[in-house]
Structure formats: C-alpha cells, structure tokens
Structure 1
C-alpha cells in the first residue's frame, strides 16, 4: 500500500501547488509560457514548424495523452508524452504548406490526464502563398566541417504577375551568405535559384535559422526559407577549458593537451593573445597528438578569459579553439 499512498500524496501536493499558485497566476501560463504562434507568410511546400514548450515546475510527472487539431492545415506532434518535474517537453506544430493555401489557422487542444485531467488550447495561424514555391521547402546542410565552406540551393518558382521579382535576400547570421539569380522569366512564370553558403568562420554547433526573400509584392513582401545544419569541428581539443590559475608576467605553466582529428595532421601553431606558448612540433602527421604546451603571459594583466587557437599545417589547414582562464598578477 506504500506506493499508492505515495502516488496519492504526490497528486495532492501537485493539486495544492496549483491551488496556491492559481491566486497569482493560472498554472497553464506557467506550464505553457507560449500559447500562440504566427507563422507569417510562407511559400507553398516550405517546411514550417514551431515547438511549443511545456514546463513542469511541479512535483509530479505531467502526461500528455493527446493533442487534437481543429484544422488539417496543422499537424501536432507530441515530442515528450511524459514530462518529469523541473523539466521541459515540447509539442511540435507542423504547418502543412504543401496541402493548403491562403490564410489558415488552427486550435490545438492539449489533453493532459496525469496527475489530473485538464485541457489547454494553443493557437497557430499563417498565410500560405499559392503563387510562390520553394523547391526544396527547406535547406538542410547536414554536417559541415568547421573551417570549410558549403553551399546548398533551392529554387524559387513563381506564377502570376509578369513584373514580379525578388528584390533581395537576407540572413540573420553574418556567416550564412544568400545569393539569388533569375533563371527564367516569361508567360507569367518567374524562376530564381537561391544559393546559401556557409562561410569558413561559422561557429561550431547546431543551428536553426532562416533566410528571408523580399519581393516587390507590397502586400506580402517577405517570405522566409528555413535553413538548418551542424558545424562539426575537424579538430577536438581536450581539455576544452585550460585553467592556469594565478601567474605573474613571465611566469610559466605547462598543460597537457590531446588534439584529435579525422585525418592525420601536424600542428602548426598554438596561439592566444597576450601569451607566449611553446610546444614541441612534430613533422609526423597523426590523427591524435599529445602536446605538452607551456603558457607564459607577456603583456596580459588582470583576469583572463580568451580562446587558445590550435591550427594544423598543410594546404587543408583547419583550426579549433580551447578556452584559457587565468589571473595575471602585477609584478
């Protein structure tokens, strides 16, 4: 009988928490901090999704039984059926731009059955242009090595006004470069090729963004195209954080670094602004290097937190960063 009693107490505590909190704020405002989303103007077949967070700040698991959509224009997907205390789950709303056009909206009814029964309504809306298509409807770069460039394309297909044109394309990231060129015009059709390039200085990690195509359509000029990818480092440095403690200018400290790569490589330089770094170079290319590096502050002073850049040799040189922290004392 212990387990049923514990479960009952847990549910009661959850209910009491909801009751005490409700006087100040509806618990649904805490659990569902975002209850509406506007997709804006989208092209036909453009991949269009949004994640609604579900935050569990209470003492019992939340179980999402189902989510119903009032319109087929939106497909809800439960990413996390069970959400543990102090955790966040998600409900994905997928706008079906390939099957619908025009102004669309839907109510997503979230059914919760544990620790008690409740329903929460989420709203989505957007406008799907019938005259403009991205092909493909999203650009996914997959995995790209850091320090290299990569380019993907999507076609912009338009049918309608003979004077319609793309005015510009912009990106939110300085290292994500979009360019566009016209490939067809005539008989009420206009086609463009949209190229998106990842620059060498793209930061490591997963990114999810979009480029915005601006046309001369005054009523709906801006149409976004989703862009995703993962920037992989060709080098892995361990440890990633180098804590050198307290040093005087001219005082040295030695650290052991392990540097791994996908292909055999040599290490050309190890640099950090304001520091002299000495290490024994090797002309032998390996996939793993054990490096004994000696760090000496030169003109640096005060607390230091800066990147240590390791660069490989050869024509296909790549680089990666570790983080140096230290306190450089006055002499």
Structure 2
C-alpha cells in the first residue's frame, strides 16, 4: 500500500511539473502580468494593453479572454500571431458603472499550437468625486505637421478649496492649457485644452497626462491622450520576413516608400552590414528599395531596423523592421559509394573469362 501511495504522489508531482512547463511557454510571451490603474476619475477612458509576442516558429492562436469582474472588460487585438508578431490583451476599466477599489483577473485561452492559459491581473481605484467630460483626449487620425486641439471638462464635487496645481506630461509632442471656469458651493470646474505640436512624430500617440491636485490622499489623477499621426513618408510592408537563411547564403526582399509629394531618398541606414540596399536617385512620390541579406557566421534570430531618410527633413522618414533566422552551414555531404566498374585485377575469374570470350 505504501508503494502505491508513493507512486501516486510521484505521479501527481510529475503531472504538476508537466502542466507548469506547458503553461510557461505561453507565459514567456507576455511582457507583464499585472497592471495598477491607480486612482482614476469617474468617466475616464482607462485602458491598458498587455503585449504578447510570438517567439516561436508555430502560429499562436488566442481562442478568447474572460474577466473575473464586471469592472473590467477584456478584448483581444490580433487573435492569430505569426512568428515575432504581436497581439494585445486590452483591459478596459469600467469607470462609468463602477466606483471605489476594484480588481480583476483576466484569463487568456490559447488553443494553438498547444492548449494553454495565461492569467493577467488589473486593479485600481475609481474616484466618484472627479469626472472627465470626455473621458480622454483623442486626436483621432491627423496628418503629420497638423496641430489639432481637444478640450476636456474636469468636474469636482466635494470641497470648495480643491484645485489642480499642475499638469504634467512626459511627452514632448503635446502642450496643455488649464483654465478654471467655476468654483461654487463645493463644486469646482476646469477646462483642459490639449494641443498637438507641429513637430509630433508619425505613429500612434499613447500618452498620459497627470493632473496634480492639492488632495493629499490622492494628489495624482491620470488622463489618457491618444491619436495617430499619419506620416508624410511611409513604407510597406513595415516588416520584412526573410525566414530561414543558412550561413553563407543570401536572401532578397523589397519594400515600397511612399510620400504625399515627390521626394528623394537621402540615406538608407541599418546598424548591421548584413544588409545591403539599392534604389533610384530620382525625385518621386514612390520608391522601390531592394534589400539583400547576407547570413554571416553567427546563427540564430536576427532583428534589425532599416531607417529611410529623405530630403524633406529629419522627421520625414520611414522605418522598416527586418527579421531572419540564420541557420548553421549545412554539413558537407557524405562520400558517395563507388559505383564504377571494378578494376580488372579485382574482377572474379568468371568475369575475366566472360570478358575474354
């Protein structure tokens, strides 16, 4: 009986270890598993994206995601992830229907290439005394060089001496103006004007303003800023996949650089001399760039940025990311068996006689 018990315990421990290893490959794809929203205003658009990167050869498919609490609504961006591509688990804190301290566990279900689950956690404090209208600063999609502005009304209810003392931002792409509109009977209102600078770089905007108040218990209130600046210069595809290339071999790809007006390509730069480029020198709104990848002696994954600058200015450029996997040099083929006729000296007596006949 003791032998059976010992065997059962060993089997259970082995099974637990196997399951843990099976889940670990999935967990290794996630950049983080926990996020604190902090103290946020009621009505604010509070969203966080967990990043998932496929580090494997097989495609990864996310079957779905669920939340343990109605305070957080989860969704998936890009269910099927190819090698080195990314997906996002989007966690939206429901600040319009909940107030107070809340937390949720998000369970991500993967069904390919192997079944696995990833658990992510979010938590935060939804304040009931501060309201943003609208709940975030969203510039939408704008052209590079445009300077749009968006207003948000900040409403506070509680005490007449409450005030916003500063607005901080780590982004150099935006500027902020704060105007107090009303202070009466415990109600305080501000207008917050946020402008996008002309020098804003192309790409997605995802910043956060921090409203610094005189409330000692919760002095900092975040406000999300988002949008997309469409580049005057763009490249397609943005990712070049060379696949597997053996040491000593080469791979070829090409990409297209577009502009809203004719331009010249001033330089194509990469940190690695494994890549060589060729293109035309004329002014045009379209340029084809040929890329040649030379696999050197080091095997393993390769990821490099290719930066195309133009004669339009320093910020008018395009970036392409190149991926490849360098395989070891193939082994020399084994010596083929000798299929030539035997020498006369080694031929059998019967063969010699037949030849003489």
TM-score tier by shorter-chain length is 0.5 to 0.7
CA 1:103–1:244 in structure 2 vs 1: closer, same or farther (change >3 Å)?
Answer: closer
Contact 2:266 2:309 in 1 (8 A): no
1:119 partner SS: strand
CA 1:238–1:320 in structure 2 vs 1: closer, same or farther (change >3 Å)?
Answer: farther
Aligned residue in 2 for 1:149: 147
Matched, 1:204 2:202: yes
Q: CA deviation at 1:207?
A: 1.4
CA 1:84–1:321 in structure 2 vs 1: closer, same or farther (change >3 Å)?
Answer: closer
Matched, 1:223 2:249: no
Aligned residue in 1 for 2:283: 257
Q: CA deviation at 1:244?
A: 9.6
Q: Which runs of 5+ in 2 are unaligned?
A: 1-16, 233-258, 270-279, 287-306, 319-357
Q: CA deviation at 1:157?
A: 0.5
Structure 1 or 2, whichever has the larger Rg, is: 2
Deviations 1:230-274 (A, max 9, x none): 2345673555632499xxxxxxxx9421259xxxxxxxxxxxxxx
Deviations 1:191-241 (A, max 9, x none): 000000112222233211121111111111111111112234567355563
Matches within 5 A, 1:244-283: 255-258=281-284
Counterparts of 2:227 and 2:74 in 1: how far apart (Å)? 24
TM-score normalised by the chain length of structure 1? 0.65
CA 1:226–1:322 in structure 2 vs 1: closer, same or farther (change >3 Å)?
Answer: closer
Matches within 5 A, 1:251-330: 255-258=281-284, 310=312, 321=316
Counterparts of 2:231 and 2:84 in 1: how far apart (Å)? 32
Q: CA deviation at 1:162?
A: 1.6
Q: CA deviation at 1:307?
A: 6.3
Contact 1:80 1:91 in 2 (8 A): no
Counterparts of 2:149 and 2:142 in 1: how far apart (Å)? 10
Contact 1:309 1:320 in 2 (8 A): no
Matched, 1:134 2:132: yes
CA 1:148–1:244 in structure 2 vs 1: closer, same or farther (change >3 Å)?
Answer: closer
Matches within 5 A, 1:1-331: 22=21, 26-232=24-230, 236=260, 241-243=265-267, 255-258=281-284, 310=312, 321=316
RMSD: 3.2
Contact 2:26 2:117 in 1 (8 A): no
Q: Which runs of 5+ in 1 are unaligned?
A: 1-17, 246-253, 261-304, 312-318, 324-331
